[in-house]
Amino acid sequence: MRKYTVALIKGDGIGPEIIDEAVKVLDAVSVKEGFEIAYKEALLGGAAIDVTGEPIPPETIEIAKSCDAVLFGAIGGPKWDNLPRDKRPETGLLKLRKALEVFANLRPVQVYDELLNASTLKPEVLKGTDLLVVRELIGGIYFGQPRGYEGDRAYNTMVYTKDEVRRIAKVAFEIARKRNRKVTSVDKANVLEVSQLWRDTVEEVAKEYEDVRLEHIYIDNAAMQLIRDPRQFDVILTGNIFGDILSDEASMLSGSIGLLPSASIGEKYGLYEPIHGSAPDIAEQGIANPIATIASAAMMLRFQFSEERAADRIEQAIKQVLKEGYRTKDLSSFDAKEVVTTSEMGSLIAQYASQI
């Protein structure tokens, strides 16, 4: 039997509730597809601070590295907001991403037909949108040196090497091959040297993928096109800061932040998590939407374990429950037949995923 180990990091706020539902669904599909997942729990964020005084204890990194993948809920909350920056929950997450060297952040954005009215954009613009943002995660201006704040002057440095661009571009082209074979590379090559290097390198990589169409677009135009006509995109490839902004913009196409999964992958490790935070305002009320986390678990099955069929089962089951009108509270005003709790939503998806 195929066996996998998954580090489970529940975190804070709604983290434990949504991770429990993802595990429920994973257990259901693993039985059906004949593989086994063993879980190892690890602490991160506020939950880790309360127990160890540190946002990321060394055991967490050890456990994460010893497993085949990491499934993560969310961290943070008002209880820990006044701690110094290096002791805050968010610092723990950044350190985990760096320790695992997960350089590629993948954010799929799919607009479900049943939820076309949940977005602030017009349904006719959104219908059929299915895109993936591939964002470079551990380079660019967020990490470049020198950086500083000196008197009335402050500066950061945007730097990329060809190797960094090459490896993220390859991820985008490989994925595009499994989708609609189109990569849109986003930069600001009309102004920035670093973007010119980005563009030149993406062109070089594209030569190895002649079956994939490549187009280049400036970030300002990309931000506009994304809401003007999102269906033109398949895979959007971009650097750290542009990807940060574009992926949040893209997330609004779907209607609720509670729907969107993400994967952060590197040469060796993979970290799978919903794009939202710990939502302390709704924690422990049984109303959080677990779909983003369950869909992140499906990405883990697909990208980390190549369990395509199990991933398909989960994705189909999510569509099915939405089609049948089951909604958690965040989506209760959009064609809801029945409003269900976090746990009921998890059970429904597990049940449908087993039946497909």
**Would you please indicate which residues are annotated as catalytic (active-site) residues?**
142, 188, 220, 244, 248
Cβ count within 10 A of residue 338: 11
Stretch that binds ligand NAD, among 47-55, 135-143, 176-184, 281-289 (CB under 6 A): 281-289
Query: Judged by CB under 6 A, which of 75, 138, 297, 301 binds ligand NAD?
Result: 75
Nearest distance from residue 294's CB to ligand NAD, in Å?
10
In order of 144, 154, 201, the CA distances from 194 in angstroms are: 12, 20, 11
Query: Judged by CB under 6 A, which of 99, 192, 257, 336 binds ligand NAD?
Result: 257
Burial code (b: 16+ CB inside 10 Å, e: under 16) for 80-114 equals: beeeeeeebbebbbebbbebbebbbbbbbbbbbeb
Stretch that binds ligand NAD, among 73-81, 188-196, 213-221, 235-243 (CB under 6 A): 73-81
Residue 90 binds ligand NAD, judged by CB under 6 A: yes
Query: Judged by CB under 6 A, which of 92, 139, 270, 277 binds ligand NAD?
Result: 277
Nearest distance from residue 97's CB to ligand NAD, in Å?
10
Residue 288 binds ligand NAD, judged by CB under 6 A: yes
Residue 279 binds ligand NAD, judged by CB under 6 A: yes
Residue 68 binds ligand NAD, judged by CB under 6 A: no
Residue 305 structure tokens: 């374990």
Nearest distance from residue 349's CB to ligand NAD, in Å?
14
Secondary structure (DSSP) of 281-313: GGTTTT----HHHHHHHHHIIIIIT--HHHHHH
- Applying the rule CB under 6 A, the residues between 10 and 49 that interact with ligand NAD are 14
| Binding-residue total with ligand NAD (CB under 6 A) | 21
Residue 281 binds ligand NAD, judged by CB under 6 A: yes
What kind and span of H or E run contains 183? Answer: strand 182-187
Beta bridge pairs of residue 348? none
CA distance 234 to 195: 21
Residue 105 neighbours by CB under 8 Å, 6+ apart: 133, 134, 135, 136, 137, 243, 247, 262, 263, 264
CA distance 19 to 23: 6
Query: Judged by CB under 6 A, which of 8, 176, 282, 345 binds ligand NAD?
Result: 282
Angle formed by the axes of helices 219-228 and 240-251, nearest 10°: 10
Query: Judged by CB under 6 A, which of 118, 183, 330, 348 binds ligand NAD?
Result: 330
Stretch that binds ligand NAD, among 134-142, 185-193, 205-213, 269-277 (CB under 6 A): 269-277
Residue 193 neighbours by CB under 8 Å, 6+ apart: none
Nearest distance from residue 100's CB to ligand NAD, in Å?
14
Closest by CA position to 14, among listed 291, 280, 261: 280
Closer Cβ to ligand NAD, 17 or 136, answer by number: 17
Could you list the residues that contact ligand NAD (CB under 6 A)? Answer: 14, 74-77, 90, 93, 257-258, 273, 276-282, 288-289, 292, 330
